[in-house]
Structure 1
Amino acid sequence: MKRRNFLRAAVIGTGVTAFGNTLTPSAMAAPAQNGPSPYGPLLAADANGVALPAGFTSRIVARSGQPVGPTTYRWHNAPDGGAVFADGTGWIYVSNSEINPGGGASAIRFDAAGAITDAYRILSNTRQNCAGGAMPWSTWLSCEEVTGGFVYETNPWGGSSVQRPAMGRFVHEAAAADPVRQVVYMTEDTSNGCFYRFVPSSWGDLSAGTLQVLVAGTATSGSFTWATVPDPDGSPTPTRDQVSGAKRFNGGEGLHYANDTAWFTTKGDNRVWQLNLLNDTYELAYDDSLVSPGSPPLTGVDNVTGSSAGDLYIAEDGGNMEICVITPDDIVAPFLRLSGHSGSEITGPAFTPAGNRLYFSSQRGTSGSSSGGITFEVTGPFRT
């Protein structure tokens, strides 16, 4: 396996916590292996049921069906994919609702001290909104994880949302903007799904453009090309079946872009993939069947985000209900663990602009029901 570069990250865009890399790479061999966490071992679970390293604390910021903080807005069921947007001296956390029908997304506004000042709906009457992605122009793409699903472009501050059919109709999962190539990448959550990119006719306007699919061999590493999907509507032929040679991925999930690199997860085989967008090659960044020594710490791979230090934070759907970190030194280790949430999954990890707070949800909480979702905040000395 050739070596890969995990580049340190710097904030890009205006008002949204998306990350891009600097030009000082740290070479690593892929895929990642077991090792000590840069934050040390996990301590006993706190009063919120969150096991964290020393120096970190947690709080619960929202529960499904209950008013958020001092507001009267009741948090949605089954919180899923999320992102953070800068809001003056504060920030906004947006979160999808993976229920069908209903779906949609909500937002929580925080002031500079982290106090909750508002909460509200930003998307309604959609279907099973799972993941999505923050755009550099400060909108949130909320994606429907259903056959023939749409992408909706939403406003984190509230107001109108717009359906974006040009981005294709399929079982959408996550999205990530690449401002260098001026495209948006997307994953597809089916066992024989594909990896896509949308090339807008005009960057910053997702109303028109070209949907393309990644074409490559069947190996776990190699080169790739892009081919245009003839019919983005996906009917009667699904988008994934329209291009010969389109590479199949087993359950596409989370997606993170950092300058010239895209990482995405596949839950069907517990892998993290890396696309080198400078030389159009792909390889494995993590594979739970190739981990040594000992048992793999990361299983049930799902949502993913990155920090300004170049670390990946990957949430588990099942497994040990952990968020694990993959470091620039190619080490994978648990960062946090939830206790008593065995019937749930961890969703929506996202950092504040300062990088010192991490938000995420337990989609079904301790009850195992979509009405039992819990959204957390973790504060502490994250690496920068």
Structure 2
Amino acid sequence: MERRTFLRSAVAGAGVLAFSGAMWDTALAAPAQNGPSPYGSLLSADANGVMLPSGFTSRIVARSSQVVSGTSYTWHNAPDGGAVFPNGTGWIYASNSEVGSGGGGVSVLRFNSSGTIISAQRILSNTSSNCAGGATPWGTWLSCEETSTGQVWETYPATGASAVSRPAMGRFKHEAAAADPVRQVIYLTEDQTDGCFYRFRPTTWGNLSAGTLEVLVAGSGTSGTFTWQTVPDVDGSPTATRNQVSGAKHFNGGEGVHYANNTAWFTTKGDNRVWELHVDTNTFELAYDDSLVSPGSAPLTGVDNITGSTYGDLYVAEDGGNLEICIITPDDIVAPFLRLVGHNSSEITGPAFTPNGQRLYFSSQRGTTDSASGGITFEITGPFRT
């Protein structure tokens, strides 16, 4: 993200003669702090139970166990991770179904240029606990199974072609994925209390059937340098992938991951952190830590899915907390962007922007009912910064 990278570079340029080694790592660490949202404070909840800043509106586009308006398709239960893909003059929103025991999968909503839903379809079935995932530059959605032997499934939102498992990407408790077209790798998070952060290097970029799975190796601190080492046995049996490489860095509950401009941001729910990996320099630091926020209490807790806008803002969804999506700006301010009212036993999932950055999609996984069949998928429109 260019503004955020510029700010980091400005700090580095000003102090390059004063810091080295461990002191340099400390100088770079500047987790986001409380401050005013660029969009202003939240207004009272609208008719859909969404608190938004002035100028923004919400729309419910799908409800679990109900037929999607304008189609004959019944929307899946427990909607989770998602992404938006261009589709001619319109777009597609792909959404996981986090249902276990082979009841999970992926569905899509297809929109025309005016935002009207023109079709909906299941594109992956009979998988388990499809949590988050990631979009590829070639237009596929990587749906990740959050089970101990989970796989990554490559799905095809535009055509609905049969999904394909990608075992070369590892068998572990997959959470999310993010494509890095510069280094031609896919970053992967692992939802374990001692999970790792991985990257997959395809033998041929655009073909995920073969390649090398690597794990991030670093010290125990919250900033420093890192390297990558090959995972010897990607099927994770009998030794789990996270336990195969000595020195692999362990993270407390890996969740969402987002890549832009030589940086990968990912979240860890066990300690309410957002990590920032500078993959061009192999250095890392904290972008957010709820225990380091001031003044006042932390606005962002229960960190989960993450996405970014074309402007450079990060949007982080909560699983718990106040059921908010919070914004982290390029100048390291954190503030609520929206809040759901009456969704007390749910979680916010699948935030994703349309290509022009003017519409944001996300779901409340269990809605107001505390049931997988009560999920609600929303669309937010308004004056997003682009």
1:195 to 194, 197, 201: 197
Alignment of structure 1 residues 159-174 onto 2, 5 Å: 159-174=161-176
Matched with 2:15 is: none
After superposing the two structures, state which structure 1 stretch, 25-34 or 137-146, moved more.
25-34
- Gaps (5+ residues) in structure 2? 12-28
Aligned equivalents of 2:356, 2:182: Cα separation in 1: 23
Aligned counterparts of 2:73 and 2:321: Cα–Cα separation in 1: 32
Q: Residue type matched to 1:90 in 2?
A: G
Segments of 5+ residues of structure 1 without an aligned counterpart are: 1-5, 10-20
Find the aligned partners of 1:287 and 1:368 in 2 and give their Cα distance: 28
1:226-241 residue pairs with structure 2 within 5 A?
A: 226-241=228-243
Question: Which of 268, 273, 276 pairs up with 2:278?
Answer: 276
Match of 1:33 in 2: 33
Separation in structure 1 between the aligned mates of residue 200 and residue 234 of structure 2, nearest angstrom: 10
Q: Which residue of 1 aligns with 2:302?
A: 300
Which of 336, 355, 360 in structure 2 is aligned with 1:334?
Answer: 336
Query: Aligned AA for 1:300?
Result: G
Q: Provide the rounded CA distance (Å) in 2 between the counterparts of 1:278 and 1:203.
A: 19
* 1:309 maps onto 2:311 in alignment: yes
Asked whether the 8 Å contact 1:7–1:26 carries over to 2, the reply is: no
Contact 1:8 1:308 survives alignment (8 Å): no
What is the distance in 2 between the residues matched to 1:329 and 1:279?
21
Query: Is the CA contact (8 Å cut-off) linking 2:169 and 2:200 kept in structure 1?
Result: yes
Equivalent residues in 2 for 1:351-370, closer than 5 Å: 351-370=353-372
- Cα deviations across residues 56-77 of structure 1 (Å, max 9, x unaligned)? 0000000000011110100000
The AA in structure 1 aligned to 2:320 is: G
Q: Which residue of 2 aligns with 1:86?
A: 86
Pair 1:69-2:69 in alignment:
yes
TM-score, normalization: structure 2? 0.93
- SS of structure 1 residue aligned to 2:242: helix
Structure 1 residue 25: Cα displacement: 7.1
TM-superposition CA deviations, 1:94-144 (whole Å, max 9, x none): 000000121100000000000010000010000000000000000000000
SS at match of 2:126: coil
2:45 counterpart letter in structure 1: A
Q: Give the structure 1 partner of residue 55 of structure 2.
A: 55
Instruction: Give the secondary-structure state (helix, strand or coil) at the position aligned to 2:352.
Output: strand
Please name the residue that 2:2 is paired with: 7
Give the Cα–Cα distance (whole angstroms) in 2 for the partners of residues 27 and 105 of structure 1: 43
When the two chains are superposed, the root-mean-square deviation of aligned CA atoms in Å is 1.3
2:9 & 2:305 partners in 1: Cα distance?
24
- The question of whether the paired residues in 1 share the 8 Å contact of 2:7 and 2:331 is answered with no
CA distance in 1, matches of 2:108, 2:245: 38
Deviation at 1:27, TM superposition (A): 5.2
Partners of 2:308 and 2:273 in 1: how far apart? Answer: 16
Instruction: Name the CA distance, whole Å, in 2 between partners of 1:75 and 1:155.
Output: 18
Q: 1:175 aligns with which of 177, 180, 183?
A: 177
Q: Is residue 327 of structure 2 the alignment partner of residue 325 of structure 1?
A: yes
Runs of 4+ in structure 1 over 3 Å off: 23-29
**Partner deviation per Cα, 1:41-97 (whole Å, 9 max, x = no partner):** 000000000000000000000000001111010000000000000001100000000
1:26 to partner: Cα distance: 7.4
Q: CA deviation at 1:7?
A: 2.3
Q: Do the aligned partners of residues 24 and 85 (structure 1) sit closer, same or farther apart at CA in structure 2, a change above 3 Å counting?
A: farther
Task: Decide which structure has greater helix share.
Answer: 2
Secondary structure class of the residue paired with 2:114: coil
Q: What is the CA–CA distance in structure 1 between the aligned matches of 2:10 and 2:245, rounded to whole Å?
A: 35
> Residues of 2 paired with 1:239 and 1:175: CA distance?
16
Equivalence for 1:3: none
Paired amino acid for 1:110:
F
What is the alpha-carbon distance in structure 2 between the residues aligned to residue 26 and residue 106 of structure 1?
Answer: 41
Aligned pair count reads 367
State how far apart, in whole Å, the 2-side matches of 1:259 and 1:8 are.
10
Cα distance in 2 for partners of 1:375, 1:49 equals: 12
Q: Deviations over 1:218-251 (max 9, x none)?
A: 0000000000000000000000000000000000
- Cα distance in 2, alignment partners of residues 72 and 340 from structure 1: 29
Q: Is the 8 A contact 2:42 2:54 kept in 1?
A: yes
Contact 1:128 1:144 in 2 (8 A): yes
CA 1:294–1:234: 2 relative to 1, 3 Å:
same
**Other structure's SS at 1:159 match:** coil
